Amino acid sequence: MTLDGERLGRVLGTEDVTPTVFWFAVAPGASVGLDDLVVVRTLKPDGREVRFYGLVDNVRKRHEGVTFESDVEDVVAGVLPASVSYAARVLVTRVDPEHFIPPQPGDEVRHAHGSDLDMALSADKMKEAAFPAGLLADGQPLPLNFRFVNGESGGHINISGISGVATKTSYALFLLHSIFRSGVMDRVARAGGGHTAGTAGGKAIIFNVKGEDLLFLDQPNGKVQEREAEAQVAKGLDADRYTLLGLPMSPFRDTQFLAPPRPGASGNAIVPHTDQRAQGVTPFVFTLREFCERRMLPYVFSDAGASLNLSFVIGNIEEKLARLAAEGEGAALLVADWDPEGDGELPDGITFDALGKTRLETFDQLLSYVEYKLLEEGDGEGDPKWVLKQSPGTLRAFIRRLRGVQKHLSPLVRGDLSEAQARQYRPNLLGGAQLSVVDIHNLSGPAQMFVVGVLLREVFEHKEKYGRQNTVFVVLDELNKYAPRDEGSPIKDVLLEIAERGRSLGIILIGAQQTASEVERRIVSNAAIRVVGRLDLAEAERPEYRFLPQSFRARAGILQPGTMLVSQPDVPNPVLVSYPFPAWATRRDEVAEEVGQSVEEVGEDWLGL
Amino acid sequence: MPPMRIRLDPWPVDIEGGQLGLQHFEGDLIDIETPRWAAVAAKPIPGRLHTVHVVDGKRRMESRVFIEDESGEAGMGGFGAYVVGAVRMCPHGSRPAELTDVRARRLLAHAPGLRVDPYRLSPRDPHTGTLQYTPIVTESADPLAPLHKLQQVMLAEEQNLSHGLASQVPFSEEDDREALTSLTIQDGTLRSKNLGGAVVGCVKTMQTQYLPADRASLLSELRPGERTPILHMKYANSPYTRFIWYVRLCEAAFYQHPMSGVMRLEMYAPDEPDFLPPIVREVANVSGNLLCRLASRAHKDPRAPQNLIPTAALESAMTRAMGSADLVTRRLRAHIARELGVVA
């Protein structure tokens, strides 16, 4: 069998040739750059052939036959004959059959195309599970193995890179787009005998942590045509990148946008706290009863692990509140033992039900009640069943922390909702749209932690109950904030659960962070697919990035927005890909004018589809 | 009496002969350009001279052999390799210099009266190529004859190459004057007979002092780029006649002989010392500028400035083209071992 790619050069004999790394001299007229995929065929003495597939990770040129550095002047002046030697280093990604002999110096090196490319990137092993993860340097799509994404062989994706230039969220969205629209979920579901639901059952939850970037994912991007046309010319591609990748150039379908309510909104109105987009965003709130019943209290404390005593108090109060909530119904909480007669400091606005029970309708009131039970009842002794012999110092610390977050959580946890309101504003992440964007960027730090923690635990518990047939992708940026390496927190516990057990339950974490070295090691190490955008060079030298060969770590410092290094278990070396400009708007001003929309889309908007 | 003076020969001691030998010359020397013996300034290189070739050759005896042919005849011989080659460059620096025709050829020179087949050393490794030795008969059975044959073949090839690349020199006044568009600089003195090309030989060493004592002092006074007038020279014992002139390539250092950095140039001349072809004068006029550009520097080449930059590059390319002598010898040995059925 011969190789059909264009001939690039011959294996060098002046450098060591090994089965994993070798250099080749680039033939005159050929051009080889980093990330080009190549194939070498060598013959063993018995006549059997071995093929080496690899990718170029280093290229160099030098004047050959010239001894002195100052000779370059003579060469340029046309006095000294010298040829330019052009050589490239290849990291072998695959040897087929697996005979780890070195190639022979002088063997032809060819560009890997077609079936050779599939071999080089192990796409032949992926079969129906391959989906495009971006374009290689030469304009061919990089296949990614979905079985390493959906939890079958491995799961989770981790993306690292400096904010702004690494465009981690953009790449995560591109991957989601590719997963949902390339049909890979359906192919894998069919091949698996229908045990999983495919695209129809797939869900994605994105936590929007900065700006309102992600609130327009359902709108077409007015600039995408122009930008892709530019990129096509700049990179010399045959078609636009969406076409090359086999993906539609269209925004996300079947989306819902959730945002917390605007604090201090007049009256009973619950309006979403967003500035750029008002239509189509659903506010979400939790009822006070849910807060207690579903044991959300621990998520108020992001540093609960810091003190053993404090955790004990939290656990105890959580238990007490859950019991209180078990009785009664509605959004508010009724308590019988808060005696307003005996204590003159009852806050304003407290109402009582028919039986004389105190009705707690706001988060503030709940806190006052807890404070009363712990520190005030019985002349400052507290209710012994609540206090459980904890020292007043610890109790005060507990109350102080609760008071600290009171302002942040009050708009989110409310007891003054009607039954219908409670149902309407309950965040429904798994029953509703395929893609849910939870906008938390307007929330303060503690409230963000609370929302992420509570929602993720809910998803996790739901999946524990109903199993993995519907894959849920959770996109979360700033993992270093939610699961820091050194401290413990309830959210970190949930994320760890997801990282370690989520893949068997069909919860896939697409996590991103600026610096992987600051994220809990077990979360990063559980990701089967690792992606690196622009990195700080000092960060790139940390052990978390050992999966990148040295030359790639240096490269990570100069990556441009729109390019990523992707590492997957099937291919031993990371591969550089570029991915297209988003087809969905990422800002309000990118939203395409209606004239730019297709008739169908306009129609759908009209019909409210 | 002038005081005793000692100055250094410019070249390192391990180079045989040094740069300045200065033996006395027995032969005829005629002023052909001008009777006025004074330095001539260099002229700029004309635009129409677009190509300069620097040509050199090299040979190597790889193994002396003893040959017995099928009919039982025996004699001496030798495996040898030679290479000639050129650097093609633009004297105006408008394009990169490049090596041309640098290709090793291999000979199996053998004594007369033997039947010798071409000898082909097939590679042990598919990527290392074959070595092909063409048989060539020597003039005598002398043990040194193969080496002389090799040298002879190489010089003939070198001359063919030199003249083939250069503009033609018209040697009578009736000829249409061919413009000097292509010039060949050949390393060393001109040998054998003239083939008519504009070929200038560069003699790096001054073994013989051709000039009488009263004229030799001009060599010390030349400034870089300047030349002496052209002379017509005829050896006492050789049929070949030359035009010669001297050019200075660089200033001599204070510790060197004042004639260091001076090079003798030669071109073929007709026997009759009454005609100076205009091309020869033109070559002489541009030689100062051209050679100063090509002159090497002392820290890069022990034979600077006379060993020209392209020549040095060509020499190393030619050495490389012949391949490693050790490896060739080893392959010869291995080949013979295989032919004799000896397990190597």
A81 to B313: CB separation less than 8 angstroms, yes or no: yes
**Across the interface, which of B93, B99, B316 has its CB nearest the CB of A78?**
B93
For B175, counting Cβ atoms within 10 Å of its Cβ (0-12 exposed, 13-18 middle, 19+ buried), the class is exposed
Q: Residue A112: which of A99, A124, A127 has the closest Cα? A: A124
Q: Looking at beta carbons, which residues of chain B come within 8 Å of A75?
A: 96-97
Q: Is B322 on the interface with A (CB under 8 A)?
A: no
Q: Is A75 on the interface with B (CB under 8 A)?
A: yes
Q: Is B313 on the interface with A (CB under 8 A)?
A: yes
Mean confidence (pLDDT) of chain A? 85
Interface mutation vs chain A, best among B92, B94, B289, B300, most A CBs within 10 Å? B300
How is A68-86 classified by DSSP, letter by letter?
Answer: -TTHHHHHHTTSS--EEEE
When pLDDT is cut at 50, 70 and 90, the band that residue A262 belongs to is confident
Q: pLDDT tens for residues A192-239?
A: 877 777 788 888 999 988 777 788 888 898 888 898 999 889 888 888
Q: Is A74 on the interface with B (CB under 8 A)?
A: yes
Q: Are B181 and B169 in contact (CB under 8 A)?
A: no
Across A99-103, A183-187, A324-328, A388-392, the highest mean pLDDT is recorded for A99-103
Q: pLDDT tens for residues A343-373?
A: 555 566 666 665 667 888 888 888 888 888 8
> What count of other Cβ atoms lies within 10 Å of the Cβ of residue B185?
27
Provide the pLDDT for residue A593.
66
pLDDT over 90 at B136, yes or no = yes
Q: Is A68 on the interface with B (CB under 8 A)?
A: yes
A81 to B99: CB separation less than 8 angstroms, yes or no: yes
Provide the pLDDT for residue A595.
44
Strands (DSSP E) found in A268-364: 281-283, 286-287, 333-335, 351-352, 358-360
Q: Are A455 and A427 in contact (CB under 8 A)?
A: yes
Interface of A with B in 101-160 (CB under 8 A): 104-107
Q: Are B332 and B62 in contact (CB under 8 A)?
A: yes
Rounded to 5°, the CA angle A6-A12-A16 comes to 135
Provide the pLDDT for residue B250.
92
Provide the pLDDT for residue B89.
94
pLDDT over 70 at A601, yes or no = no
**Across the interface, which of B294, B300, B316 has its CB nearest the CB of A65?**
B316
Q: Phi then psi for A338, rounded to 5 degrees? A: -105, 100
pLDDT over 50 at A119, yes or no = yes
B89 to A81: CB separation less than 8 angstroms, yes or no: yes
Provide the pLDDT for residue A415.
83
**Across the interface, which of A13, A79, A104 has its CB nearest the CB of B310?**
A79
Nearest CA in chain A to B292: A79
**Across the interface, which of B96, B127, B313 has its CB nearest the CB of A78?**
B96
Nearest CA in chain A to B314: A81
Provide the pLDDT for residue A425.
86
Q: Is B67 on the interface with A (CB under 8 A)?
A: no
Q: Is B50 on the interface with A (CB under 8 A)?
A: no
Interface size A-B, in CB pairs within 8 Å, comes to 58
Q: pLDDT tens for residues A293-311?
A: 888 888 888 766 667 778 8
Q: Residue B234: which of B202, B262, B270 has the closest Cα? A: B270
Mean pLDDT of A473-499: 87
pLDDT over 90 at A111, yes or no = yes
Nearest CA in chain A to B129: A106
How is A540-587 classified by DSSP, letter by letter?
Answer: HTSGGGTTS-HHHHHHGGGPPTTEEEEEETTEEEEEEEE-PPPSB-SS
Mean pLDDT of B193-217: 88
pLDDT over 50 at A416, yes or no = yes
Q: Is A76 on the interface with B (CB under 8 A)?
A: yes
Q: Phi then psi for A406, rounded to 5 degrees? A: -50, -50
Give B88's strand partners.
Answer: B53, B98
Provide the pLDDT for residue A346.
59
Q: From CA B89, how far away is CA A31, in angstroms rounded?
A: 26
- Is the model more confident about A586 or about A218? A218
Interface mutation vs chain B, best among A40, A67, A80, A108, most B CBs within 10 Å? A80
Provide the pLDDT for residue B175.
62
Cis peptide before A298 (omega within 30 of 0): no
Q: Are A519 and A483 in contact (CB under 8 A)?
A: yes
CB-side neighbour CA atoms (13 Å) of B207: 7
- Residue with the two structure tokens 């109402």: A351
- Residue with the two structure tokens 């308590």: A335
Q: Which of A123-127, A172-176, B103-107 has the lowest mean pLDDT?
A: A123-127
B127 to A107: CB separation less than 8 angstroms, yes or no: yes
pLDDT over 50 at B154, yes or no = yes
Q: Looking at beta carbons, which residues of chain B come within 8 Å of A84?
A: none
Q: Looking at beta carbons, which residues of chain B come within 8 Å of A104?
A: 125-127
Rounded to 5°, the CA angle A558-A145-A436 comes to 80
Mean pLDDT of B205-229: 91
Q: pLDDT tens for residues B76-101?
A: 899 999 999 999 999 998 999 999 98
A81 to B126: CB separation less than 8 angstroms, yes or no: no
Provide the pLDDT for residue B157.
93
Q: Is A47 on the interface with B (CB under 8 A)?
A: no
Provide the pLDDT for residue A602.
47
A79 to B89: CB separation less than 8 angstroms, yes or no: yes
A68 to B87: CB separation less than 8 angstroms, yes or no: no
Q: Is B292 on the interface with A (CB under 8 A)?
A: no
Q: Looking at beta carbons, which residues of chain B come within 8 Å of A13?
A: 127
When pLDDT is cut at 50, 70 and 90, the band that residue B182 belongs to is very high
Provide the pLDDT for residue B147.
94
- Is the model more confident about A215 or about B127? A215
A81 to B93: CB separation less than 8 angstroms, yes or no: no
Q: Are A571 and A205 in contact (CB under 8 A)?
A: no
Interface mutation vs chain A, best among B309, B316, B319, most A CBs within 10 Å? B309
The answer to whether the predicted template modeling score (pTM) of the entire model surpasses 0.80 is no
Interface mutation vs chain B, best among A12, A67, A79, A85, most B CBs within 10 Å? A79
pLDDT over 80 at A89, yes or no = yes
Interface of B with A in 179-198 (CB under 8 A): none
How is A435-503 classified by DSSP, letter by letter?
Answer: EEEEE-TTS-HHHHHHHHHHHHHHHHHHHHHH-SSS-EEEEES-HHHHSBSS---HHHHHHHHIIIIIH
